Structure 1
């Protein structure tokens, strides 16, 4: 008697039905070819230039990025040029873009690319993920756009598009929701022109499938959109609940000597890491001058005496409400090195303004000079 035949295991149901998948890919690619914005990084095949654009575009609007991207490439035209540049020069080229950890990671990654890959970006998302600053999104973007690998990506725009197309529930940051979005992105990207398809998803989210007032009547795939079909476009995704910005006050030492001001470069980690500043120490809002002087003395490793106030500069950062209290100080001896900083320099205002300095501290420098920091 012959043994019973084994039944074939049923094929797993695809995450996205093939007909729907092809309709979505075709519709978005055709729309992208006709409607995409003419952005400078879309006119190059240089992986380094594409990588730079993706890093700059994180948390930053396209219109802001374009001039920075062009100037940065002029100053550091290759991976090798970036890798061999001093970090303060790289941070100076980044000034005004914020989120300076992006620039520090860019610099570290360039050095690793020279050391490990001969100055060339590897062509796979898996290898890119081994470099500083490369998360899943950036690796997928560079691998697909620069090298044509069918690597998925999910950013805020893509998450919104996929949430509406597939009626994905859950608030931003929810683990189950994020996993579902990456599964959908992975299912959709294989096929022709994966890099263009990923860009089509991002472009669609930026210009049509917007957070507010989405242009559904202009959407090339609205017939495939479950949220549109069910009248839930305004519900998905739900708005992200943002924490109130933390208040942060810095006592800033405005120390003048023979027409120069004392500048300090921070350690490379933390807020404003690696950047130059008028030496500062975090204090409470109501910290009196003598206590502020003690904090600054500890940071500088030198006696500090407060002689007066030169004003307060306030800046609103994404996660912080920043107050910079400008204190005219003096002391003895004039420090040339300090325990809390990587480097000290005595600079004229013109020399100081050319250093890698945050926008907030640059405003503080301008305010101090205007208030007469170098007079008297």
Structure 2
């Protein structure tokens, strides 16, 4: 890793901040330094593009303009506002942190990075962003952009997939970040990583900091950041049960320890597990096994049939789900005493907070053509 002189650090700061002053992105959460606004935007921006986040952020602020409004919001209303952003644990943690702020901090934000990390769901990056932008603390905010930008600028060869690497970057950036404008510095790095120093198709030739980019000078841009290969997601196979009753469709709430925790989906049956229990099952026999399992788990009898629709594929970080739609029409309203769910009338389907997977399932079902089993 190349170490910069004090003179070079000063030149870099001036170059970067002059560029930022003239070209910074006009984003709704940059209109002030309110920590609540910064916090909500940063949580939304995790795993999500800026263009996608902007309308979500604007709607969210209208619905929950203050910490108090967020802390007191009904969960179904909160999840509906978050619908489409995915990773719903983020918004649940936001509400818990808002409640924590009211209960433990009298509604006042802690101002140091260490204290901010005491709040539920706030990690080192988000804490650094809030501390620097809202409270002018000279703290690095190391996210994917910062990893990419500084690994190239300084030719840092540490593997960014390893937890200890964050400390290496924070130590390097702490020498460079200016004490008088740390928030603008961190936001400038964000903008640089989203414009000239992107992960794909970077434009280093026209980058305002190209003379400081050692990897560019050495012709090694493609080598940074260093990251070990991600494991391929594990394939999982499910049946999604579309069960129509006289009063609507059956929806099941996912358990708190499962993927898509506490969200509402069509009931799912793990067909891989069915085959583990009986490896001799043919494809046609699996649906009968699914009926028996559903009956055993819920005491609801459903005569399932395949739905003539494509398999719905959905990828999570470590798993790739392949979901086959099956359906049944229940002539009588079922007893839900042993079913962790509810019947949702057709007219209320649009009010439910659906994860992306459920949206895919419903779209596929709407386009279906039933074929008899």
Compared CA separation, residues 298 and 65, structure 1 to 2 (3 A): farther
Please say if residues 3 and 154 of structure 2, whose CA atoms lie closer than 8 Å, have aligned partners that are also in contact. no
Aligned twin of 1:296: 294
Aligned twin of 2:280: none
Aligned twin of 1:59: 47
Deviation at 1:62, TM superposition (A): 0.7
Deviation at 1:348, TM superposition (A): 1.8
Unaligned runs of 5+ in 1: 1-13
Aligned twin of 2:345: 348
How far, CA to CA, are the matches of 1:372 and 1:75 in structure 2? 39
Deviation at 1:331, TM superposition (A): 8.7
Q: How does 1:215-364 map to 2 (within 5 A)?
A: 215-238=203-226, 241-284=229-272, 286=283, 288-299=286-297, 301-310=298-307, 311-319=309-317, 320-329=319-328, 330=330, 334-338=334-338, 341=340, 344-364=341-361
Compared CA separation, residues 338 and 121, structure 1 to 2 (3 A): farther
Q: Does 1:17 align with 2:16?
A: no
How many residues get paired?
356
Please say if residues 312 and 323 of structure 2, whose CA atoms lie closer than 8 Å, have aligned partners that are also in contact. yes
How far, CA to CA, are the matches of 1:151 and 1:221 in structure 2? 21
Unaligned runs of 5+ in 2: 276-282
Compared CA separation, residues 167 and 367, structure 1 to 2 (3 A): closer
Q: TM-score, normalised by structure 1?
A: 0.86
Deviation at 1:46, TM superposition (A): 2.3
How far, CA to CA, are the matches of 2:325 and 2:134 in structure 1? 47
Q: Deviations for 1:261-319, whole angstroms, at most 9, x for unmatched residues? A: 112222234311121112223222857012212333355x2233233122454133243
Aligned twin of 1:197: 185
Compared CA separation, residues 86 and 283, structure 1 to 2 (3 A): farther
Aligned with 2:221: secondary structure?
A: coil
Q: TM-score, normalised by structure 2?
A: 0.87
Aligned with 2:244: secondary structure?
A: strand
Deviation at 1:234, TM superposition (A): 2.4
Deviation at 1:144, TM superposition (A): 1.1
How far, CA to CA, are the matches of 1:185 and 1:220 in structure 2? 18
Please say if residues 302 and 331 of structure 1, whose CA atoms lie closer than 8 Å, have aligned partners that are also in contact. no
2:34 pairs with 38, 43, 46, which one? 46
Compared CA separation, residues 122 and 177, structure 1 to 2 (3 A): closer
Aligned twin of 1:7: none
Compared CA separation, residues 151 and 265, structure 1 to 2 (3 A): same
Please say if residues 165 and 225 of structure 1, whose CA atoms lie closer than 8 Å, have aligned partners that are also in contact. yes
Deviation at 1:26, TM superposition (A): 1.6
How far, CA to CA, are the matches of 2:25 and 2:98 in structure 1? 29
